[in-house]
Structures are given as structure tokens and as C-alpha cells.
């Protein structure tokens, strides 16, 4: 059984969902997917936005790598 994810892992996951929605033109604040993700990961949007202030480039790089299949 997998151990509980760290705060950093949870923030990264929620940040990936938020950035993906932003890029698709969907408001994360009105997305059931994003709001459910926040609830499941016991986070709030303010924490994710704060995380993205520092790590946005890293999140975008990881999303590009996964999209290209590398």
C-alpha cells in the first residue's frame, strides 16, 4: 500500500490540474474536477497559487514532457 503523498506531491498534482484547465480556457474556480481535486488532496486554491508562483515553469515543463510521451 502506498504511503500518503507529501504536501509537495499534493501541491504539484493540484498545480498540474490547475495549469491544464487554464491552458484549456476553463476557469479552475468553476471546475468540479479542480474543486474535487483540492478537496481530495486537502488543499485550497490559495496554497496552489502560492506553489505556482515559485514552480509554474517546472509544472509546465512536466506537462509538456508527459504530452510528448518522452
Place of cell 498534482: 13
Q: Quote the cell numbers at residue 8.
A: 509537495
Residue 68, pLDDT score = 63
- The Cα–Cα gap between 43 and 11 comes to 8
Domain presence at residue 70: no
Q: For residue 39, what pLDDT is reported? A: 98
Residue in the structure block whose three cell numbers are 479552475? 28
**Does a structural domain hold residue 35?**
yes
Residue 52 is predicted with a pLDDT of: 99
Enclosing domain of residue 47: 7-65
pLDDT of residue 60: 97
Q: Tell whether 1 is covered by a domain.
A: no
pTM: 0.88
- The tens digit of pLDDT for each residue in 29-45 reads 999 999 999 999 999 99
How many structural domains is the chain composed of?
1
Sign of CA dihedral 52, 47, 23, 10: positive
Mean pLDDT per 10-residue run, the chain (70 residues)?
A: 85 98 96 97 98 98 78
Amino acid at each position: 500500500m502506498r504511503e500518503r503523498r507529501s504536501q509537495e506531491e499534493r501541491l504539484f498534482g493540484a498545480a498540474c490540474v490547475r495549469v491544464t484547465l487554464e491552458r484549456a480556457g476553463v476557469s479552475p474556480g468553476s471546475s468540479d474536477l479542480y474543486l474535487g481535486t483540492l478537496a481530495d488532496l486537502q488543499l485550497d486554491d490559495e496554497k496552489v497559487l502560492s506553489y505556482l508562483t515559485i514552480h509554474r515553469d517546472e509544472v509546465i515543463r512536466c506537462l509538456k514532457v508527459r504530452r510528448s510521451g518522452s
